[in-house]
Amino acid sequence: MRVPTLVREAQKSAVRLQFEKSCLDEVGEFLALLAAHPSSFPVLEVGTGAGVGTAWLASHAAGPIYTVETEARLADAARDLFAASPEVRVIHGDWMAALNHGPFGLIFVDAKPAKQDGADQLVAALQPGGWIVLDDLTPREYWPEAWRGQPDRVRDQWLGHPGLISVEVRTSERVAVILARRKG
């Protein structure tokens, strides 16, 4: 897939901001595939960062995109980056502040607090049949020795959530995401 211009602009912004945890292209392509649905459902991104994931979504989504970031300098930079994209609404604050804009057809969870403790709230904000994506997972065979044999709370809660049908998907050899669909 060709990397959209808006994504390249966001990647340059991440370098300027010295933000090193941006959405990988492999994950962005995966998000673009899900966002490219012809219906115009709202999308939520939890953890804007420098806006790279947002740019992947905005380059393909038909409906509004809400993205929430706790760090003011990153939220301000994202607002500037998406000033010409009225479908993108950047929210500065706690991720739960964005939930009232739902229900959402797609939620991309890229912030650690929401991944660890937000499953029930995020599933409730998802329309039946909607998708949730969590990134930044290391496949178990690449875990450092200190992690081996330890429980993985994030994987356990999302892959075993009773309101979801979930699977772990590799986006590259060393990177995986959880893809989940709300039941009902």
**Per the confidence metrics, is the pTM higher than 0.95?**
no
Q: How many CB atoms lie within 10 A of CB 128?
A: 10
Q: Does domain 5-182 have CATH number 3.30.300.30?
A: no
C-alpha angle with apex 123: 59 to 89, nearest 5 degrees?
35
Domain boundaries, the chain: 5-182
pLDDT in tens, the chain (184 residues): 689 999 999 999 999 999 998 988 999 999 998 998 767 789 999 999 999 999 999 999 989 999 999 999 999 999 999 999 999 999 999 999 899 999 999 999 999 899 999 999 999 999 999 999 999 899 888 888 888 888 888 999 999 999 999 999 999 899 999 999 999 8
Contact indicator for 17, 78 with CB cutoff of 8 Å:
no
Contact indicator for 181, 131 with CB cutoff of 8 Å:
yes
Q: How many CB atoms lie within 10 A of CB 30?
A: 21
Contact indicator for 133, 30 with CB cutoff of 8 Å:
yes
